[in-house]
Every structure is written in structure tokens, then in C-alpha cells.
Amino acid sequence: MLNLILFGPPGSGKGTQSEKLIAKYGLKHLSTGDLLRSEIAQKTPLGLEAKSLMDKGQLVPDAVVIGMISSALETNPEAKGFLFDGFPRTSAQAEALDKLLELKETSIKMMLAMVVTEEELVSRLLKRGETSGRSDDNNEGVIRARIAEYHNKTAAVADYYKKFDKVVTVKGEGTVDEIFGGLCKEIDSTLD
């Protein structure tokens, strides 16, 4: 199985690049952000709890997202591989993911970490907020809180995978196609 993590701060292009990567490599896309927004749209109790945290720019509890990923892995037994987008976001999530994959006798092949400056992140997210209807995108204070959560809790996830020599950094600024080219080059080099 080809299991990849697409990693980076909010607005680094994870969702954008995921669409292209799953099409090229035939992977199943697992985005915890998308799964949470689907719960919110259906007004489930989990969605209501998540919305109040997401609207403040905070992460939702580990147990909630680990549970969602666990059931998504169970419901896709035929997948050739998974692209994890926006997950894991804490060290506890990373450890849980390793255990879940071990049960399926597989593991993470590589973490692709996209690098983008903070000002570019804020500008992209404010721009998306003009049209997306996402309440976490239309307020600069909330966007900066999300970036702070990334530095406080999520950046350490890259250190976790560095211990296993699984992290490659990729430039996350430029055109969408240029960035996609950089990601594919790294993935293809592990498939040889």
C-alpha cells in the first residue's frame, strides 16, 4: 500500500494538492477537515461540538478525529493506499495512526511537508473566506489562532516522523501545478 501524509500549516495547499494526488496515484483521500465539516453540515452532536472549537481556530479532541479515521480505514478495505490530509495534527494522533496501520499490516511511506510563509497563509485563507462560507476563514484573528495551534501542537508531528526518516519538505509557494510537480517528484522517487 502507498500511504502518504500531506502536511503543512492551515492554508498551505493540502486540500488543493490532495485532489490532484489522489487522481494521479489512485489513493483514497482522508481529510479530517472534510469529515468534520460533513458532521457539521448534518448537525450531528459530534459536528456541533467540533464547530464551536473550529470557529475559534482550535483543534478538536484527539479521540474524535482518531475515531473518525479508524472507521474510515475500516470502511475502505479495498484501498490501494491512503492520502492523509490534515491528519495527524498532534503527536498522539500520529502514534494512534501508526497503531491503526500496523493492525492492517501496513505503514506510512512518507510525509510530504509543504513550506509556506505565514503572510502567504493568511492572505490565501482570507481570500478563500470571501467565497467559501467557512466561518473559520473570514476572520484574521481566527486564522492566526489556527496558525498558532499549528506551531504549538502540530509542528511536532514532523519531528515524530523525522525519527523514522520519513519526512521530505516541498516548496508550497508557486503555481498549483509547480507545487504538484514537486510533490510527484518526491513520491515517484520512492516508487522506483
Number of DSSP helices (H) and strands (E) in the chain, helices first: 9, 5
Please name the helix (run of DSSP H) or strand (run of DSSP E) that holds residue 48, with its range, or none: helix 45-54
Query: Active-site residue numbers?
Result: 14, 89, 128, 134, 146
Task: Decide whether 26 or 67 has the Cβ nearer to ligand B4P.
Answer: 67
Q: 175 in helix, strand or coil?
A: coil
Which residues contact ligand B4P by CB under 6 A?
10-16, 32-33, 36, 53-54, 58-60, 65, 86-87, 89, 93, 124-125, 128, 136, 146, 176, 179
C-beta neighbour count of 26 within 10 angstroms:
11
> In terms of CB distance, is 32 or 166 closer to ligand B4P?
32
Query: In angstroms, what is the C-alpha Rg of the chain?
Result: 16
Rounded least distance, CB 13 to ligand B4P, Å: 4
How many Å apart are CA 21 and CA 171, to the nearest integer?
16
Residue 28 or 191 having the CB closest to ligand B4P: 28
